[in-house]
């Protein structure tokens, strides 16, 4: 038995992979990755794959970016980990300062954690405790969005709206008010699609009427609304109109509740701007970050909030206003060093300035596929494009789930050197920011070939 076969046998024996029906590995080995470089992953057999999903939406500047690698190595020679209560260190201080400088004025306090779910949990807990300590203890409810996703902890499942992920756990979750998803292709209000950039959508954003109704009745009892700005990621890569976000932000302010923006996926240039909220000129009370925070190199989460929130916790110990929350790897020095290096790459390589040309190539190239009889919708923002696969374009009827269309596309994509990990029947490209125009053309070509091979139309 070769070493590779031995390891694969041990993988089957001992490893339980996330979001995976392990039985599928009876038919197919997991992609056995040996190394990464730029936009590519290489498997142990020497095959090359475009990392078309940025390794779960994390890698920004490509795998193994030399500057980030050097900074993490140098940090490793000094300090690899230290608890973050009662201690501090230079990389975490400098990263917090840089994040505060990157974000608009009232956002100035950075609470570190170690992943995206915890970054959101922290925001929810801070919001609740803020109201308790600010003479409004009855503000205990949260509003979230159908098809929203904020992670897999019990708390974040409570505020998430992807039924498949919540399945048996519903009995453990807390109730939140759920708004209909701004899913224009399958409008929950039965109205027409419209352009994401249209400042006055023809539908008048009717899907937000329920929010106004909830607020009129329950704003006094509501702590916050949590949402992913401009793109519901795991819920189906649903890009939604900018005025939706502006309107929610306006209503949150008007009715006195916190706005929690989960930019775990959209942060750090993915949408063409550093943060998605910048497209709409809104400022959240809490900004949740992870994934691209370290350029995708290391695990880290951060929740950025305002001095006003911070001040409600700042008092003598005896008042009991401490925020009792923390994770072992909070503010990890290696992750912080990676985060700082990633921000340096943004400057050195003028990453944001280079994006418009790349985004144009992706948008126009992807649009060419909208004629395909099984592509019902092509949507996205920035370096993200999604294709919703349907059996019948006219009726928007989906394929029977037993056909596992998304999975079959994934398998065929691997043969063509692209990782088209599906979200149900939605296939998407979530490209590293360093992907060149030429690479974008090549990725689109391989993706289209894959569709042609698998889809009946
Ligand atoms: C918007 C959003 N929030 C939160 C999370 C959870 O992050 P993590 O998997 O690091 O806990 C994700 C993960 O995909 C996400 O896309």
Give the CATH number, domain containing residue 112.
Answer: 3.40.640.10
Kindly give the number of the ligand 1 atom that is closest to the alpha carbon of 290.
Answer: 10
Q: Are 343 and 379 in a shared domain?
A: no
User: Rounded CA gap, 71 and 91, in Å?
Assistant: 10
Would you say residue 405 has pLDDT above 70?
yes
pLDDT at 427 exceeding the cut of 80: yes
Q: How many CB atoms lie within 10 A of CB 53?
A: 19
Question: pLDDT-derived band of residue 108, with 50, 70 and 90 as boundaries?
Answer: very high
Q: Which of 39-43, 164-168, 333-337 has the lowest mean pLDDT?
A: 164-168
> Are 416 and 446 in contact, with CB atoms under 8 Å apart?
yes
Both 151 and 210 in one domain: the answer is yes
Which range, 160-164, 166-170, 444-448, has the best average confidence (pLDDT)?
A: 444-448
On average, the pLDDT of the chain sits at 96
Q: Do residue 315 and residue 411 come from a single domain? A: no
Q: What is the pLDDT of residue 193?
A: 66
Of 290, 272, 240, 236, the C-alpha closest to 123 is: 290
Domain co-membership, 308 together with 407: no
Give me the number of domains the chain comprises.
2
Kindly tell me if the per-residue pLDDT of 106 is higher than 70.
yes
Question: Is 260's pLDDT higher than 80?
Answer: yes
pTM of the model: 0.97
Cα 455 to ligand 1 centre (Å): 30
Q: Is residue 251 part of a domain?
A: yes
Domain carrying residue 412:
373-419
Ligand 1 binding pocket (C-beta < 6 A) is: 115-117, 120, 149-151, 228, 233-234, 262, 264-265, 290
Share of the chain above pLDDT 90, in %: 93
Q: How confident is the model at residue 194 (pLDDT cuts 50, 70, 90)?
A: low
Residues assigned a catalytic role: 19, 149, 262, 291
CA–CA dist 380, 240 (Å, integer) = 8
User: What integer pLDDT is reported at residue 202 of this predicted model?
Assistant: 87
274 and 400 assigned to the same domain: no
Beta bridge partners of residue 201, listed in sequence order: none
Q: Are 118 and 153 in contact (CB under 8 A)?
A: yes
39 in Cβ contact with 48 (< 8 Å):
no
Ligand 1 centroid – CA 430 distance (Å): 14
Same structural domain, 243 and 95: yes
């Amino acid at each position: 038995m070769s070493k590779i076969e031995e390891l694969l046998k041990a993988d089957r024996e001992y490893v339980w992979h996330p979001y995976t029906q392990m039985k599928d590995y009876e038919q197919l080995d997991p992609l056995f990755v040996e190394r990464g470089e730029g936009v590519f992953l290489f498997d142990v057999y020497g095959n090359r794959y475009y990392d078309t999903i940025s390794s779960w939406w994390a890698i920004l500047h490509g795998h193994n970016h030399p500057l980030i690698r050097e900074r993490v190595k140098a940090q490793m020679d000094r300090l690899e980990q230290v608890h973050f209560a009662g201690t501090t260190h230079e990389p975490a201080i400098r990263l917090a300062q840089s994040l505060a400088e990157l974000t608009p004025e009232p956002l100035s306090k950075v609470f570190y954690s170690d992943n995206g779910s915890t970054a959101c949990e922290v925001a929810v807990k801070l919001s609740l405790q803020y109201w308790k300590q600010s003479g409004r203890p009855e503000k205990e409810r949260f509003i979230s969005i159908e098809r929203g996703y904020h992670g897999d902890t019990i708390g974040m499942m409570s505020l998430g709206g992807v039924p498949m992920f919540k399945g048996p756990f519903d009995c453990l979750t807390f109730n939140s008010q759920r708004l209909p998803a701004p899913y224009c292709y399958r409008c929950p209000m039965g109205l027409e699609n419209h352009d994401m950039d249209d400042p006055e959508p023809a539908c008048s954003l009717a899907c937000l009427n329920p929010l106004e109704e909830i607020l009129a009745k329950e704003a006094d009892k509501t702590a916050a609304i949590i949402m992913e700005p401009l793109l519901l990621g795991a819920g189906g890569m649903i890009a939604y109109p900018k005025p939706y976000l502006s309107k929610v932000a306006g209503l949150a302010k008007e009715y006195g509740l916190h706005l929690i923006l989960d930019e775990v996926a959209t942060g750090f240039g993915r949408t063409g701007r550093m943060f998605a909220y910048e497209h709409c000129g809104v400022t959240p009370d809490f900004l949740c970050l992870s994934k691209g925070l370290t350029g995708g190199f290391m695990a880290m989460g951060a929740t950025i909030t305002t001095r006003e929130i911070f001040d409600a916790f700042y008092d003598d110990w005896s008042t009991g206003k401490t925020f009792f929350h923390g994770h072992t790897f909070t503010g990890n020095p290696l992750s912080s060093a990676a985060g700082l290096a990633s921000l340096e790459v943004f400057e050195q390589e003028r990453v944001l300035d280079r994006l418009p040309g790349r985004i144009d190539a992706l948008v126009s190239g992807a649009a060419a596929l909208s004629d395909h009889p099984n592509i019902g919708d092509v949507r996205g923002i920035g370096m993200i494009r999604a294709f919703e696969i349907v059996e019948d374009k006219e009726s928007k009827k989906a394929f029977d789930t037993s056909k596992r269309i998304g999975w079959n596309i994934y398998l065929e994509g691997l043969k063509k050197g692209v990782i088209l990990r599906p979200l149900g029947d939605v296939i998407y490209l979530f490209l590293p920011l360093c992907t060149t125009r030429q690479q974008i053309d090549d990725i689109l070509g391989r993706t289209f070939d894959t569709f042609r091979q698998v889809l009946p139309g």
